[in-house]
Every structure is written in C-alpha cells, then in structure tokens.
Amino acid sequence: MTTKARQQDPVGAVMVVGGGVAAIQASLDLADTGYLVYLVEKTPAIGGAMSQLDKTFPTNDCSMCILSPKLVECGRHPNIQILTQAEVQSIEGQAGDFRVKLKQQARYISLEKCIACGACAEKCPKKVDDEFNRGLNKRKAAYVKYPQAVPLKYTIDKDNCIYFQKGKCKACEKICPAGAVEFAQEDAQLELNVGAVIVAAGFRPYDPSPFAQYSYSRFANVVTALEFERILSASGPWMGHLVRPGDEKEPQKIAWLQCVGSRDINNCDHPYCSSVCCMYAIKEAVIAKEHSHGGLDATIFFMDMRTFGKDFERTYEGAKERGVRFVRSRVHSISELPDKSLRLEYATEEGEARTEDFDMVVLSQGLEVDPATAQLCQDLGVELASTQFVKSGSFSPVATSREGVYVCGALAGPKDIPLSVMEASAAACAAGGNLTAARGSLVSLPEITPQRDVKGESPQVGVFVCSCGINIAGVVDVKAVMDYAATLPGVAYVENNLFTCSQDTQDKMAQVIKDQGLNRIVVAACSPRTHEPLFQETLKAAGLNKYLFDLANIRNQDSWVHANEPEKATDKAKDLVRMAVAKASLLEPLSEAKLSILPKAMVIGGGLSGLNAALELTRQGFETHMVERDAQLGGNARLLRVTAQGEDVQAYLAELIAKAQAEPLLKLHLDTAIKEVSGFVGNFKTTLAGPAGEELIEHGAAVIATGAAERRPTEYLYGQDPRVMTHLELDAALLTGELTPQKVGGAVFIQCVGSREPERPYCSKVCCTHTVESAIHLKEHNPDCRVTVFYRDMRTFAERELLYKKARELGVLFVRYHLDSKPQVSLQDGRLLVTALDPILGREIELEADLLCLASAIVSHKDESLAQMFKVPLDQDGWFLEAHVKLRPVDFATDGVFMAGLAHYPKPIEEAIAQAQAAVSRAVTVLSKTEMWLSGTVAFIDPKKCVGCGVCWEICPYQAISPDEHGLAVANAALCKGCGTCVASCRSGAPNLKGFSNQDVMAQITAMLQG
C-alpha cells in the first residue's frame, strides 16, 4: 500500500521495525493517536524477547501473561498492519516522506485460511531445533513460533522443509483441513510510504560459546539465562518443571555467573554493562527456589550487584532473605564431573581459592546488538556507538543521527522492559510529533459492530475453559470442569481451549458467540485483572455488550496455588465456574457514558522533565499550562554540569527555557501551587494559587513531573566543614568556578550516603555515574589529584561502564566498603581525614581530602496532597506509583494523569527526557481524541428507594453523588469510579453498582455455598 502525499504534507504513517515489546508499545501509541502503523517483524510472530521470559522482575509477573493482551491488542488494532517475516532493505527520502523498501518472505501458509489447528505441524516429518525454546527441544518445519503468537498462524520453514529441500513430501498440504498450505507462494518486494521510522529491533542475547573457560558448548548442564527462562516457563520444554538439560534431573544446587559477555573486553568486545542481568539472575534464583521441591541452593557469583531500579534493591534484599547466596567473585573455570555436575573454581573476596560443585550453572549472558541489525542500521544511515548500540544524545534520547528515524528499546542501549516501553512511547511521541499535520489522514475509524439487543432473552451462557497450556490443565481436570459447566443452568455452550487468550481462539470465540446466539460469556482462565479487557473486546467484536462477561480465575487462584491437590483444585474450579455463570446470568448490558475531551494539558513541575513534556505537548498542537512552585524554571538541572555523555546541561537548559518562554501555546504559572483538583479525564478543573491570586484552569490531561530532591546528609561532617559537599553542590561549585580541579589535591567520594540503608532501602541510581564523571573531570583537569571513591557496588550501568573504566584508567582509586563498616570522617587540626577498611588489603587506610563529595540519596517529595488531589498513589518511598511497573511505566491507574522524571524514581537526564516524551505520547492518546467512553461500571441510584439521608454523598470519594431538587441522591456517571462505597453505605438499598450489583454478589455467594 502506497499513499502519495503532497510535497508539504508529511505522510500520516509510521513504520516500526521490530516486533518486541518496545515496537509493540510504539505501534499502539501511534495507532491510538491517529497514525497508520506498519509493524515490520523479521520472524513469523511478534512478541520479541519478552515472550520468551518466564517472569519479569521485580514484581515477578508472568511475562507472557502481561504481554499477551498487548500482543492481541496489536494484532487486532485497525490502525496497525503487522508484516511478519519481513525485513527493511532501504529507506529513501526524508523525514515526513520516506519510501521504504521491504522484502517479505513467503510463509507458504495462507494467513487468511490458516485456522491454527496444528495439523500441519503434527504431520510434518521434519524436526528441527526450536529457537523459541533456545534449542532445548524440537519443533517441526511447519510450526507456530509459540502458543500465544500473534498472528497465530503457522509457517513453513523453507530451509528445513523436506519438500523444499528434496522436492517431495507435502504432507502438510494433504492434511491441512483449511487448504491453507500454499507452496506456490513467493517472497515479495514491498514499497511503503511513511512519514517516520522507529527502529526497535532489539538485542541479541550474547552467545557464550566462545567463552572457553565456561565450556557452555561442551557441558550440557551449563545453560544460558534465556535457556533457563525457558526451563522455568510453564510453556517451556519441560513445562515449568525445574530440570537440568543434561539428564532431566531436578538440580539441587545452581550457580549463576554474572557478567558473561558484559563488562568484558577479553572474551568479547563488550565493555558495557548489560543493565538487566543482576536483576534477572535474582529473579531466576528466587523463582527457581520456588519451583524446586527440595529447597534449592541458589548462588549468584557477581562483581557488583547492580540493582538500581525502582524496587530492585528490595528485591535483592528479599532474595537474600529467601536464602539466595551472593558471592562477590568472578568464577575462573568450570569443569564437568562424572555425574554431569559442575565444579567451579573461584577466589573469594579475601583472595582465598575455592572449589565448589553445582548441579547446574546458569550464565547470565549480556545483551548485544545482532550484527545483522547493526548492518541494517548502517544501511539506513543510523549511526552506531562504539558498543554497536544506536547512538543517541542525552537531550534527544530516541532520535538517531538520521532525521525522522527514531530508536527505542534495547537497540538504543541495554535496558529492561519498563525503560524500553517508556522509550517506545517516547519514540512514538517524537515520531508522531513531526507528523501532526497528517494525524488521522490515513486511518479509518474503527468499525463498530452493532450491538445485539439481548433484552428479553433468557441467559445463553457460553463457557470457555482454558487449559493455559498446562498451566491449568496440568492440575485441574479441564474436561471435568467443562462437562460440569454444561450442566449448569443457563449454559448453552461449552468449549475447552489450549490458550483462550490467543488471537485465533478469540476470533473463533466471536464466531461461536454469533453462531450459537450466546448472550453471556464466561471464561474460566486467568485473572480478570490482566485479561478481562481482552475478552471484552472479543464480545464487542461479536456484537455483544462487553459487560455480559465474567472470568473465573481458575489459574492464578486455583491451579497455580493448589498444584499438589488436583482433585480439590478441580472442585474449586467447578465452584468458581458455577459462581461466574451465576453472576453472568444476571449481568445486563451496560452503556458507557460519552465524555468530551478538552485538548489542553497541564504539566506540573518546571524541571527538565516538565519542560520537555510541555514543549512536546505544544509542538503537537496542545495548549499547555505549566505549573511550577518555584519562581524560576529548571529544577534540579540548574545545578547540573554535564550528562553522562558529557553534554553541557546549562546550555541545553537555557535553550529549553528560552523556548518555553517563547512558546505561545505554553502558559507558564510560576511561583504557583495547586490548590484543588476536580473533574476527571478529559475534563479536569484545577485551581492554581499564584502570585496573582487563584485561577481555575480546565484541562484534559495532566503530567506530574514534580521531581525529587537531593537529601541533605546528616553524616560525614556534612554542614560542619565546607569541604564536605553533595554532588549538586560540587557541580554548582565547578560551574561557578568557586572550585577548580587544580586546587584539589585529594578528593574523596563516598557513595550510598543515605541510599540502600534500612530507612531508605533503594538505590538512587545516578550517583555512581555522577561520581565517576566528577572524578574523571578532576583527573582530566588535574592528573595529580588523588581521587578515591568509597563504594558498595559500582552501579555504572549500561554504557556508563565505559566511564567507570575510563576513571580507573585515569587512576581513580575505588575502595569498597560494607554497610557495617562505613568510612569514618574526622577533622584533625583542620585536616579533613577519611579512614576506611580496604577489603583487599585487609587493613585500615587513611586519606586526606580537600574535597569530600557525598553521593547523597535522592529523596521523593512524598507529595501526598498532590497525589490525593489527582487521586493517584505513592509507593512506600514516596515515589509516584505507576499503573503497571512493567508495561504502563508512565501511566497512573487514574485516567488522564501521567508522570515523568524524578517524581517516579531517581533517573539520569536522558531517561527523564524519554519519560517526559513518553508521558506526552500517552497523554496524546487522550488529548487527540475529541471524545471518549467511560466505564459502564458505575453506581446508579434508585429514586424509588432513596430517602435522601445523605450518607452516600457525604462519603463518595469522588463527589460523584449529589442531591437533586427533591433532595434525593443522583450519581454522576462521569465522576463515578465504580468503587461501590455508596452502595454498601446505604441502609435503603437505593444505590447499586453496575457490574457488581447486590444481586450479582448475592448470586455468587449463593452459587459458592449452595452449589
């Protein structure tokens, strides 16, 4: 499909290269903001690395479970075209009007005809290594990538197909009931016209085969981390049973070796830190312990534990409590014992040589850019850094060297899922921002299936019992549950699915609903918290009101937690299905109120994040109000010298502030506080209290970017001696020239001042880099300066590791200390002395400092009043709590409110800016619509029962209830959030909550106890 655009107008389409979670998020954001998206994936299905993970840290959410709804959403989005088995060949033209040439491999199975029954794969005689399971088991030459794949369509692997290689077979063609096998298909050349390109081609896990001393390719029980993910995965080769590949026995003792292919220039040219391995190793160790039957002994060998993200440090401490052993040592060799167990040789911290045997070894492999991807980038004119990751500046974190081409995810540097998702939204923002003029030009309005009127029909309940692979079926007798469901009153149709959430099952379900005339749907599967929206979409597609649905949670709250009691778990599943059927039978179609959206935004906080968010919003054409409580803009950045990449922060900030002051769409409210917030998504009313008095601002969305503060230390003589200063003070002193490196003879840095302590059990993330960068600055300007850094773990994650390396090369001395033996600072005759125990030397050292820089913690503002006004939560450390730690990193559970910057968690500038752009992208998904539909789960009040006593309107947390002219309560659906507090407070039974009515709950109680 090509669209000719006029010279001036950009093309309202964006190509996203890659199919992982970053590509998916970028695609969804762009598609939701009015652009046509071509999602170009090399393999036969989207999902990327995340689809292969078992769990995700730090919450240990099931990776596939949280990803699957996104996959399906992507697969069925009317504005997203997924091109699988396709690769970009070239990009011509310029930003706003690119012509992209693609090659798409033949699938040999028709996407339209394939029903994903699997007959072809079953019949196919050719077995090959299953790359999805990292070669731990086999697949056929006719195959589907994984059970929840999108699109869920089979493929013939030409290179391994007997017919293609030897000229005859075609067993699949004969068996296919749908006539979908098409050997005559040929590879296709496509040319697409797009306004922007986002490269999100992801990473490749480092292959440790060349790493001779770890003998990965020789010893069966040495596995990579990704292999281990597959071993742990319920859909993996051993269905989640923890066994070692060598003999399929359950290991009792496992070692994780960190930094395999990271921070290593001897075995590989990877001087960077891969950022994610520490956390995934902890996660794997903890999950493995849970999977294990005999109390697994889990040991992690590491150099520095880099648990720098939100809640990571708690996970690390939690793992220690759960008995995971952490050994600070680099294992230097592995040998295999006769029973295929492994002997590890390493030196302890104290230098003592040790030998220890393990049943299994997991290599925590790093992340690297696939050379093919690197080549593609070069072909596209996208510049790479020395690390082969795509080069981007701190101030434009998702822009590449080619205008109009953006990057996000692990291709832009090793990173975890939330950061990838955040960058994906940022890239969508950056790409979409240039195409504003063409927004909506290429997308068609979503087709709305007319809703069938079910009034007067008796319940015809369809029950879909999911096996979830073996997640449910491995414990619960799914067949028995299905048979039982068929006997329940009102049930008209029953079916069992391997994966009810897969797209083909969803499509089939829609068909079944239509064919069977079903009017209520019960899915017995996983949690409504993750999957209800997905199934509700299917109801909509089938012309059924989406509220005629209930989910019986027979996985998370049954099969998974009663794994050893299959009979009781089956009984429970039956009960849960009976309860769901009873509730579903009573459900009524609900209508959703329509809301108009005010296309104006408010950004709270005028720091770097807020400024970026505000300018991006105005660039996209939305009037924006910026509220800053200070009299000037800039926030913490006013005190920062350079970024980790060495860019000048002050110059950038000045430019940014000038832009903000010149921007006509941006209304600045300085020296202003927020007094009151009312309203809801699309229609907020915020009262500001500024120098000129109070002002009421109406806006459709808000971005909270209120930042954080550097903690004022109370230790190490801070405040008692002018030579003791914090990072921001040091930067400021260097900026003003108050301090010059030449005058510093001895500089000491102490890390983790107030971070990673019981009272503040988190890592402040930026201090290690800041220290290293300051140390380098001192050394570069005064090579004679003695610079010593006291640290606990150096957390120069990702490419910051290069700075750490450079600092050491420049002679900066790094000395580790323990939490229980912190350095001591004293004043003796005006001399500032730092004494500490050197763990390597094993003795006390004393240093004299002209400068003692304390890497003080970054602390939240714990802004409870703001949180309450916007009805958004704070976590236990006072950071704003996102809607979902992994997949909704800048969203709040409250619609229309988003966050960016340090208010979320300490982070470096490029992340803060990316997050600001991401918040804008998410906000634009709201602001770019003229109207939106509210939830139907709202309270309503029966005027015949209301006595007007006022209890409900007194307690409604959203002021959604007020008395009418007769003094009777009326609920406003636009304000109501559906909590139901009014319902439970009313003595008269006048309010009820749609979807959770008294009748519904009562039916569930009755079905539960009287079945």
Partner 1 sequence: MEAIAQKIREAAKKLLSEGKVDVVIGYAKGSVPMREYPYFAYTPEEAENLTWSSFCCNNLALYTIRRPGRMAVVAQGCVSRNLVNLINENQIKRENLYVIGLNSPGMVDRRKVQALFPGKTITEVIEEPEHLLVKGQGFEERIERKKFLRSNCLTCVQRNPVISDELIGQAGPEGHGGNIDNVAAPWEKLIPAERWAEMQETFKDCIRCYACRDACPLCYCYVCFVDEAQPQWCAKSQDEADVMTFHLLRAFHCAGRCTDCGTCESACPQGIKMRRLTSKIEKDIRELYGYRPGMEIGAQPPMSLFKPNDPQDFIK
Partner 2 sequence: MTEAQFEPRIAAFFCNWCTYGGADLAGVSRLQYPTNLRAIRIPCTGRMNPNFIMQAFRQGADGVWVSGCHPGDCHYIAGNLYARRRFTVFKNLLEYAGLEPGRLHFSWISSAEASKFQQTVIEVTDAVRALGPAQHLIKDIRKVA
Partner 3 sequence: MSHKILAKDKLDAFLQGLCRDQDLFAPVMKDGKVGWAPVTTAAEALWEFSNSELSPKDFFFPQTECMMRFKNVQGDPQGMIMQAEPALNKPRVLLNIRPCDAKAFQVLDMIFVQDEMTNDLYWRDKREKTTLIGLACNDPCPTCFCTTVGSNPHGTTGLDVLLTDIGDKLVAESFTAKGEALLKELPEVTRQDLFQAGELKKAAEAKITSGVAVDKINAATVMELYDAPLWDRVMESCLNCGTCTFCCPTCHCFDIQDETQGEAGRRVRNWDYCMSWLFTMHGTGHNPRGTKKDRVRQRFMHKFKYIPVKRGGEIGCVGCGRCVQLCPVNIDVRKVVNDMNA
The residue ranges that bind partner 3 (CB under 8 A) are 944, 1010-1011
- Measured from the CB atom, the residue of 6 and 944 that comes closer to partner 3 is 944
- Measured from the CB atom, the residue of 275 and 553 that comes closer to partner 2 is 553
- Measured from the CB atom, the residue of 323 and 967 that comes closer to partner 1 is 967
Min dist. Cβ of residue 1010 to partner 2 (A): 6
Q: Rule CB under 8 A: is residue 987 a binding residue for partner 1?
A: yes
Euclidean distance between CA atoms 716 and 528, whole angstroms = 51
- With CB under 5 to 8 Å by kind, the binding choice for 579 among partner 2, partner 1, partner 3, none is partner 2
Taking Cα atoms as reference points, which of 53, 105, 346 lies closest to residue 214? 346
Among 714, 868, 930, 962, the residue binding partner 2 under the rule CB under 8 A is 868
Which helix (H) or strand (E) segment holds residue 710: the answer is strand 708-710
Euclidean distance between CA atoms 1005 and 27, whole angstroms = 43
Among 76, 105, 945, 996, the residue binding partner 1 under the rule CB under 8 A is 945
Q: Rule CB under 8 A: is residue 831 a binding residue for partner 2?
A: no
Min dist. Cβ of residue 941 to partner 3 (A): 16
Three-point CA angle 221, 226, 227, nearest 5°: 35
- Measured from the CB atom, the residue of 328 and 945 that comes closer to partner 3 is 945
Tokens of 356: 């220890």
**Overall size of the chain counted in residues:** 1011
- With CB under 5 to 8 Å by kind, the binding choice for 947 among partner 3, partner 2, partner 1, none is partner 1
Segment interacting with partner 1 (CB under 8 A) among 476-484, 636-644, 771-779, 946-954: 946-954
- Measured from the CB atom, the residue of 120 and 287 that comes closer to partner 2 is 287
Among 944, 965, 1009, 1010, the residue binding partner 1 under the rule CB under 8 A is 944
Instruction: Compute how many other C-beta atoms are within 10 angstroms of the C-beta atom of residue 318.
Output: 14
- The DSSP symbol for 33 reads T
Among 189, 955, 959, 962, the residue binding partner 1 under the rule CB under 8 A is 955
Q: Rule CB under 8 A: is residue 950 a binding residue for partner 1?
A: yes
Q: Rule CB under 8 A: is residue 568 a binding residue for partner 2?
A: yes
Dihedral sign for Cα 668, 669, 674, 680, please: negative
Q: Rule CB under 8 A: is residue 702 a binding residue for partner 2?
A: no
- With CB under 5 to 8 Å by kind, the binding choice for 164 among partner 1, partner 3, partner 2, none is none
Strand partners, 607: 634
Which helix (H) or strand (E) segment holds residue 193: the answer is strand 188-194
Q: Residue written as tokens 């109501």?
A: 976
Beta carbons of 367 and 205 less than 8 angstroms apart: yes
- With CB under 5 to 8 Å by kind, the binding choice for 949 among partner 2, partner 1, partner 3, none is partner 1
Q: Residue written as tokens 């692997």?
A: 157
Beta carbons of 51 and 131 less than 8 angstroms apart: no
Site size with partner 1, rule: CB under 8 A: 20
Among 954, 959, 962, 1008, the residue binding partner 1 under the rule CB under 8 A is 954
Min dist. Cβ of residue 956 to partner 2 (A): 10
CA distances from 1011 to 485, 486, 980, 1006 (A): 12, 14, 27, 7
- With CB under 5 to 8 Å by kind, the binding choice for 999 among partner 1, partner 3, partner 2, none is partner 1
Euclidean distance between CA atoms 237 and 252, whole angstroms = 19
Taking Cα atoms as reference points, which of 598, 600, 613, 621 lies closest to residue 703? 613
Q: Where are the alpha helices (DSSP H) in 699-845?
A: 727-736, 767-781, 801-809
- With CB under 5 to 8 Å by kind, the binding choice for 950 among partner 3, partner 1, partner 2, none is partner 1
- Measured from the CB atom, the residue of 225 and 938 that comes closer to partner 2 is 938
3-state secondary structure 133-160: CCCCCEEECEECCCCCCECCCCEECCCC
- Measured from the CB atom, the residue of 557 and 988 that comes closer to partner 1 is 988
Ramachandran assignment for 412, one of left (phi > 0), alpha (psi -120 to 50 degrees), beta (any other)? alpha
Q: Rule CB under 8 A: is residue 1003 a binding residue for partner 1?
A: yes
Min dist. Cβ of residue 1009 to partner 1 (A): 13
CA distances from 645 to 2, 299, 395, 639, 674 (A): 40, 35, 10, 17, 36
Which helix (H) or strand (E) segment holds residue 68: the answer is helix 63-76
- Measured from the CB atom, the residue of 840 and 984 that comes closer to partner 2 is 984
Q: Rule CB under 8 A: is residue 979 a binding residue for partner 2?
A: yes
Euclidean distance between CA atoms 613 and 624, whole angstroms = 9
User: Dihedrals φ, ψ of 502, to 5°?
Assistant: -70, 155
Q: Residue written as tokens 């974190």?
A: 397
Residue 448's Cβ-side half-sphere holds a number of Cα atoms within 13 Å equal to 6
Q: Rule CB under 8 A: is residue 622 a binding residue for partner 2?
A: no
- Measured from the CB atom, the residue of 651 and 1008 that comes closer to partner 3 is 1008
Min dist. Cβ of residue 958 to partner 1 (A): 15
Min dist. Cβ of residue 990 to partner 1 (A): 8
Q: Residue written as tokens 């503040």?
A: 760
Euclidean distance between CA atoms 383 and 386, whole angstroms = 10
Q: In 3-state terms, the chain is what percent helix, strand and coil (to 5)? A: 30, 25, 45
Among 565, 655, 676, 698, the residue binding partner 2 under the rule CB under 8 A is 565
- With CB under 5 to 8 Å by kind, the binding choice for 979 among partner 2, partner 3, partner 1, none is partner 2
Give the per-residue contact string, 265-294, with partner 2 (x = CB under 8 A; - = no). Answer: ----------------------x--xx---
Q: Rule CB under 8 A: is residue 889 a binding residue for partner 2?
A: no
Q: Rule CB under 8 A: is residue 998 a binding residue for partner 1?
A: yes
Segment interacting with partner 2 (CB under 8 A) among 45-53, 207-215, 965-973, 997-1005: 997-1005
Q: Rule CB under 8 A: is residue 310 a binding residue for partner 2?
A: no
CA distances from 662 to 692, 710, 912 (A): 21, 30, 23
- Measured from the CB atom, the residue of 175 and 593 that comes closer to partner 2 is 593
Euclidean distance between CA atoms 358 and 55, whole angstroms = 24
- Measured from the CB atom, the residue of 560 and 622 that comes closer to partner 2 is 560
Cβ neighbours for 167, distance < 8 A, ≥ 6 positions apart: none
Q: Rule CB under 8 A: is residue 957 a binding residue for partner 2?
A: yes
The identity of residue 187, as a single letter, is D
Three-point CA angle 146, 149, 154, nearest 5°: 75
- With CB under 5 to 8 Å by kind, the binding choice for 967 among partner 2, partner 3, partner 1, none is partner 1
Among 227, 423, 571, 801, the residue binding partner 2 under the rule CB under 8 A is 571
- With CB under 5 to 8 Å by kind, the binding choice for 571 among partner 3, partner 1, partner 2, none is partner 2
Segment interacting with partner 2 (CB under 8 A) among 35-43, 373-381, 562-570, 756-764: 562-570
CA distances from 306 to 259, 277, 410, 563, 764 (A): 11, 8, 17, 34, 11
Tokens of 865: 């009043």
CA distances from 965 to 509, 784, 940, 948, 971 (A): 47, 82, 17, 11, 14
Min dist. Cβ of residue 570 to partner 2 (A): 10
Min dist. Cβ of residue 963 to partner 3 (A): 23
- With CB under 5 to 8 Å by kind, the binding choice for 65 among partner 1, partner 2, partner 3, none is partner 2
Euclidean distance between CA atoms 765 and 772, whole angstroms = 13
- Measured from the CB atom, the residue of 694 and 864 that comes closer to partner 2 is 864
Q: Residues interacting with partner 2, by CB under 8 A?
A: 55, 59-62, 65, 287, 290-291, 527-530, 553, 555-558, 560-565, 568-569, 571-572, 575-576, 579, 868, 871, 873, 893, 937, 955, 957-958, 977-981, 983-985, 993, 996, 998, 1001-1002, 1004-1006, 1008-1010
| Chain residues in the site for partner 1 (CB under 8 A) | 944-951, 954-955, 963, 967, 985, 987-989, 998-999, 1002-1003
